[in-house]
Amino acid sequence: MIAQVQPLLMTAPEYLAWEPEQPYRHEYIEGQVSAMAGGTLPHNYITLNVYSLLRSHLRGTGCRAAVSDARVRVSEKGPYFYPDIVVSCDERDRRARDCLSYPKLIVEVLSPSTAGFDRGDKFRFYRQISTLEEYVLIDAEKVGIDCYRKTSAGKWELTAYPEAAPVLELSSLDFSCPLALVYEEVELMESADDVGEKGES
């Protein structure tokens, strides 16, 4: 999602009490509250494609996928984010009402104005969540997905698609799908038909 400028300043408890009464969603980072604005249509279509694929795959597993209205808490003091897609398999999150605290997978669909933050500081914050196993960044302007996986040693390794393969694999959920399904019916600067060609090169 796209964060607007002109952040407000408040404590985490103040933010949690204030934010539900607002007409728009807000993220909270180190005392600053920033309103969230809508993304592009390709951003929206990609998010819905991935959510639909994951929801079908996770049915009956005890894991749940949620889209951008689901708030994720890094700690009680924040930050608080609204990722495009989040999956939790933790029983404690099944009883949650305000935010998810134990995600297993987080997906962000990149916007030009926030791509640097999503790759940098936001990922640094997300890495503080002990249950997180994969962090996925999806390009909304051309075919390209970066998947960061936490190894058994606690290190994060990058797999880039379609360079690695024309099929996206999410080991945390035992899930895979062709990249073409992620970009199905999405008009990009680079055609989704190029996915197969890149995978073969």
Mean pLDDT of the chain: 91
Confidence of residue 59 (pLDDT cuts 50, 70, 90): very high
The dihedral built from the CA positions of residue 177, 46, 74 and 91, taken in this order, carries a sign that is negative
Peptide bond between residue 162 and the one before it cis (omega within 30 degrees of 0): yes
Residue 7 clears pLDDT 80, i.e. is over it: no
Longest Cα–Cα distance in the chain:
53
Work out the pLDDT band at 6, boundaries 50, 70, 90: low
Phi and psi based region of residue 5 (left: phi greater than 0; alpha: psi -120 to 50; beta: remaining): beta
Query: Is 38-200 a CATH 3.40.50.2300 domain?
Result: no
| DSSP 8-class letter at 19 | G
Average pLDDT over residues 167-185: 98
Token pair of 137 as six digits: 């960044």
Q: What is the DSSP letter of 62?
A: S
Per-residue model confidence (pLDDT) at position 169: 98
Q: Are strands 103-110 and 134-139 parallel, antiparallel or unpaired?
A: parallel
For 79-133, the pLDDT digits (tens) are 999 999 999 999 999 999 999 999 999 999 998 888 999 999 999 999 999 999 9
| The two three-digit tokens of residue 196, written as one number | 């197969």
Using pLDDT thresholds of 50, 70 and 90, give the confidence band for residue 194: low
DSSP string, 176-196: EEEHHHHTTT---SS-TTHHH
Tell me how far apart the alpha carbons of residues 139 and 42 are, in angstroms, rounded to a whole number: 10
The CB density around residue 169, as the number of other CB atoms within 10 Å, is: 17
pTM over 0.85: yes
C-alpha to C-alpha distance for 32 and 94, rounded to whole angstroms:
28
What 3-state DSSP class applies to 80? strand
Domain ranges of the chain: 38-200
